Amino acid sequence: MDCRLSLLWQRPGNDEGEVLLPDLYHFLKLAHILGATILFGTGIGIAFFMMMAHRSRDVAAMAHSAGIVVIADLVFTATAAVAQPITGIALAHVAGHALTEFWIVASAALYVFVGLCWLPVLSLQKRMRDMAVAAQRMGSPLPMDYDRYFRIWFILGWPAFLAMVAIFWLMITRPQSW
């Protein structure tokens, strides 16, 4: 059996015995799905840990959780957020979709909306982390602003979550118009 490695991006099913690399379309689709999974999963995980720490009213737990959440958002969410449009545009190009198709435009608009919710959330998380760390160090209760920031953080999370669900729906169904 001839086991040459093809450098061409080909679909499986080659009768010449070549060991084929995955084709570009499937690679991009995998990268795009993994990025969406990371964005959605990290968002839900962050929300869960922040909520549980907040409910505990344990300043040390709140400081620790908020610190981990800020790191997770910067490492995972930010990385995936940058990768998503890159893989999405490349995937649309390889699949032959125009970037002006309704479902792509609607998804992109919702994606921008999610980003506009996420940027203040990231800032609020940093502020809450800093407040909780300072309160822990001083052995004092959290300042009143902490609860106000948490409420804003919580409120901003819901439209972002629903917009992400809508993006998944658009990506799966690819409607031509509303």
Distance from the Cα of residue 13 to its chain's centroid: 34
φ/ψ region of 10 (left if φ > 0, alpha if ψ in -120 to 50, else beta) reads beta
Mean pLDDT of 121-132: 96
List the beta bridge partners of residue 19. Answer: 5
Distances from the Cα of 170 to the Cαs of 87, 88, 150, in angstroms?
Answer: 16, 13, 30
Which residue type sits at 61?
A
Mean pLDDT of 39-49: 96
Which range is least confidently modeled, 2-16, 31-45, 97-111, 115-129?
2-16
Residue 11 confidence (pLDDT) above 50:
no
Tokens for 108, please give them: 């992109």
- What average pLDDT does the structure give for the chain? 89
Residue 55: partners with Cβ closer than 8 Å, 6 or more residues away: none
Q: Bigger pLDDT: 63 or 18?
A: 63
pLDDT for position 122: 94
pLDDT in tens, 155-174: 999 999 999 999 999 999 99
Mean pLDDT of 83-95: 95
- Helix, strand or coil for residue 5? strand
pLDDT for position 15: 54
